[in-house]
Structure 1
Amino acid sequence: MVTQVPVAHDVEARETLPLPPGPYDLRVADLRVQWPDGEIVGLGDTELSLPAGRRLALVGAGRVGTSALAAVLLRFIDYEGTVTLGGVELRDLAGEDVRRVIGLCARDTRVSPATVAANVRTARPDADEKEVADALRRAGLTLPPDTAVNDETISGADRQRLALARALLADVPILILEDPVTERDVLTAAKDRTLLLISHQAVVPGAEPILRHMDEVVTLGDVP
């Protein structure tokens, strides 16, 4: 798993199907999620289709649906509607299997009190120093690998680059990138993989440099 989002509520234990073979496409339709406080959110009548290798930007404010979608795609929360991975309903797949295919890069990613290298290596414990250093370089994280970090000592931008380094080390084929910091981050994340970019900021398709690299931009609800 690349990073974590807060668990809204436990996904019920059930028998699961084996992970289908790649390449992996994603499809989302009629998505509805109930948070622990009872609030029901979703994507309304918006349907998303991400064939393998597609780059899609989803723009939405707060918990209109984008946060719920990320939690659903990582199998941290149950849902109503249709969400398929490689043609198989996501609720029928084991969470650990799904998170080997789908990763999340967020600015609030968890940082353990350890070195930069140790934090990155959680994505693949058997990775050697060269592989970790290469992932850090590609992610644009300039902190030395032996730097001690924790939640209080690392910036939001570097948190996201740390999460990106984890994703690159794990080599997940589908990546969710939340509020990317720079255009470079987007290009690095999107290389040879499916990219779902989630933005909570107001953007104008065609005017925002980051969105020039997207195949499609979908706007949800009222964006500030």
Structure 2
Amino acid sequence: MLRDVRLRYADDAPWALDGVDLDVAPGGRLALVGASGAGKSSVVQLLARFREYQGSARVGGHELRDYAGDDARALLAVVSQDDYLFHGTLLDNLLLARPDATEAQIVDACRCAQLHEFIVGLPDGYHSSLGEGGTMLSGGQARRLALARALLKDAPILILDEPTEGLDAATERELFAALAQAMAGRTVLLISHRLGALAELVDEVAVLQAGRVVQRGRVAALESQPGPYAQLRELYEPG
């Protein structure tokens, strides 16, 4: 996917990505971990074509810079802790991802995100108003709605950007089950500063440090050896 990729936010700024090599096989699941400022968000910015880059970045068999921005973003579905929910109904927010979605497709996406039963229990169901910024929903419900929206888009690449950040332990466990189902059959890039239980969802982990991939391997192997991954675990997952 990425070969010797460099990216910075201004001509005189330091490199946010400095020679990154990274690939995910179709249907593969890779976690990209690193401390704050390591370059994780820059990878998302790059893949979504929000930033220009040097080197080679290939998605869907084509160089990313050859895609128009909207065409590149059509290949990605992103779930992050900052997904914005608009004032309107649950249905309105879901249809943003796919305006021509059928009722069956909407229900399937919400079932997969473990949100359907909650929605049909509301007096107005899918036509329930969210309030500005989704104030009607709890943090976990809002994250599951963002996940359902990403699934409805049905893009070949699913990017999970800190998907459980800010959630309490119980809500994180509930979302974990939804994520496990959502990832089936998709190419997944999971981005986090800590993996915790999310480690069970991925095939491999790549550690990003100062804009470079400094370690990569299967979770069990990295956990059993000293190095950047072990240092991150000590920092963010003490005990």
Structure 2 contact 4–19 (Cα < 8 Å) conserved: yes
Post-superposition shift, 1:102?
Answer: 1.2
What SS does the corresponding residue of 1:185 show, helix, strand or coil? helix
**Which of 163, 169, 184 matches 2:146?**
163
Percent same amino acid among aligned pairs?
39
Residues 1:179 and 2:172 are matched in the alignment: no
Between the two proteins, the alignment pairs up a number of residues equal to 193
Structure 2 contact 6–20 (Cα < 8 Å) conserved: no
Match of 2:126 in 1: 145
Change in 2 beyond 3 A, CA 1:58/1:178? same
Post-superposition shift, 1:212?
Answer: 1.9
CA distance, structure 2, for counterparts of residue 38 and residue 134 of structure 1: 48
CA distance, structure 1, for counterparts of residue 158 and residue 176 of structure 2: 16
CA distance, structure 1, for counterparts of residue 13 and residue 111 of structure 2: 41
Structure 1 contact 101–173 (Cα < 8 Å) conserved: yes
Letter in 2 for 1:102: L
Structure 2 gaps of 5+ residues are: 120-124, 165-174, 210-227
Match of 2:203 in 1: 215
Structure with more helix by fraction: 2
Post-superposition shift, 1:216?
Answer: 0.7
Structure 1 contact 176–198 (Cα < 8 Å) conserved: yes
CA distance, structure 2, for counterparts of residue 187 and residue 49 of structure 1: 21
Post-superposition shift, 1:80?
Answer: 1.9
Letter in 2 for 1:151: G
Letter in 2 for 1:72: L
RMSD over equivalenced CA pairs, Å: 2.3
Post-superposition shift, 1:29?
Answer: 2.3
**Which of 68, 73, 80 matches 1:94?**
68
Change in 2 beyond 3 A, CA 1:214/1:31? same
CA distance, structure 1, for counterparts of residue 12 and residue 193 of structure 2: 22
**Which of 97, 101, 107 matches 1:133?**
107
Post-superposition shift, 1:114?
Answer: 0.8
What SS does the corresponding residue of 2:6 show, helix, strand or coil? strand
Structure 2 contact 48–69 (Cα < 8 Å) conserved: yes
Match of 1:24 in 2: none
Q: TM-score, normalised by structure 2?
A: 0.72
CA distance, structure 1, for counterparts of residue 9 and residue 163 of structure 2: 25
Q: TM-score, normalised by structure 1?
A: 0.77
List aligned pairs for 1:1-224, cutoff 5 A: 27-35=1-9, 39-141=13-115, 142-143=118-119, 144-149=125-130, 150-151=132-133, 153=135, 154-181=137-164, 182-201=175-194, 203=195, 208-221=196-209, 223=232, 224=235
Which of 102-111 and 135-144 deviates more? 135-144
CA distance, structure 2, for counterparts of residue 138 and residue 166 of structure 1: 11
Post-superposition shift, 1:97?
Answer: 1.5
CA distance, structure 1, for counterparts of residue 134 and residue 105 of structure 2: 26
1:42-74 deviations in Å (ceiling 9; x for gaps):
344442111110000000223321101101111
